[in-house]
Each structure stands twice: as structure tokens, then as C-alpha cells.
Amino acid sequence: MARLAGKTAIITGAASGFGEAMARRFAEEGANVVVADLNLVGAEAVAQSIGENALAVHTDVTRKEEIDAMVQATMERFGRIDIMVNNAGYSHRNGSMLGVDEDTYELIAAINMKAIYYTALAVVPIMERQGSGSIITTASTAGLRPRPGLTWYNASKGWAISVTKSMAVELGPKNIRVNCLCPAAGETPMLGLFLGEDTPERRAQFKATIPLGRLSVPLDVANAALYLASDEAQFITGVALEVDGGRCI
């Protein structure tokens, strides 16, 4: 039996990278999926390729009214929300912490942090009425093992891990589980920002820090998210799951 049969999942940042892989993997396991992204053309392409159990929604996660509209569209189409994946993320380019301008800092804070607040306000009451729910955030190994060059991004992901644990404690009695994923840098459109520059030399340097010897790929993260979203993880909450090939050891 499909592991997410009868469930509905919203995934932000789902037009590409980790989010796209989650949308496809969840749909393979029977879920209705909402492909939410600022890039509506990309989101529509992903949703169309998945089929009629997918809905594309233009969503700027930095704006509360767009989060609310995303949730409303989901309820109108599918009637419930079982899984909320806060996957949309943003980073400054690897470099000096003093070289990051204020606008970039504000965008990192809005996408990586405040959006989690907005989605919680919108979906927690629905999950509470339903009697269950699963909230998953794509954090990062950067929040667990911060390294020079990505200071403000690292801090935002540390915040995401902390809020995951706090939400898990508060929402546990409502049967709402809250977990996050901590991937190592992977084959996504943001790789160049994380590395400073996407060159074979920089990739080789980064791979040398990972015991399993490669970057993450979207399917690695999608499979981990699938487990946390499924009933197989019904006693798992407050976890920051490392999907990193051993980098954080």
C-alpha cells in the first residue's frame, strides 16, 4: 500500500531541487501534492508532469497573504492538509560575513525563518482540527556544524532547528509531529552560492569533507522527508535528521 495514500502535502520551493524531488516522491507514494513556488512556470511544469493529484500555486513565502492563499487553495482542492514541508530557502554567497548587505540578510531571515512562522499560523489550526499532522523543514548541516563563509545562512538554519524542537514539544499533545532535515550541500540551483563558485576544484574540496564521498542529491532528501511524513515515523518528533553522508561526524 502507498505510504502516503489519502494524505495531502504542501511543499514550498517545489519547482526545483529538493522540493521537486519531494513532490514527485510523495506523489509516487499516493499523496496529493501542492507544488508551491515563486517560480509559477516551473511549479506548473512539475505539477503537470505529476498529474491530476498535483496543484501548482504561486507562493512568495515572505508574504503572509500568499501563504494564506496557498493554504486556502489547498483546502479548496483537496479538503485537508496532512503534511507541511517548509523547503523554500535562500543563502548569501560563501564569503566574508561583513560582505553581506542588509537586503540579502533580510531576505534570508524572511525565507528561512519567518516563513516557518507564517505556515505554522496557517496550517496548525487545520491539523489540530483534523487530529494529526506532520511539519517538516529543510534545515541544513550548516545549522549543526557551522563553518566560515556562510555565517548568516548558518544562523538562520540553526534557528530553524531550534524552532523545530520547540514546536515539537508544544504541538506533540495535539498529535502534530515537527521534524527537520539537515542535508549537506547538494546538486541544486543554490550549490554555487554554498561553494562560492561551482567549479570541479571546489566540488572536490567539499566532497573530501564527506565520508561517503559525494554531494547529496535531491532523491536523498526526498526519501528522508518521505519517511518523516509517513506513519512509519509516527513516534518521531523534534528530530534534526542529518542527510549528509557523515559530514557532521
**Known catalytic residues?**
153
Least Cα distance to 214 among 223, 206, 224 occurs for 206
- Dihedral of CA atoms 157, 159, 162, 163 in degrees, nearest 10, equals -110
Report the distance separating Cα 176 and Cα 169, nearest Å: 10
E runs forming strands in the chain = 8-12, 32-37, 54-58, 83-86, 133-138, 176-183, 240-243
Report the distance separating Cα 132 and Cα 143, nearest Å: 28
Phi-psi domain of 196 (left: phi exceeds 0; alpha: psi -120 through 50; beta: other): left
**Residue 43 host element (H or E):** helix 40-50
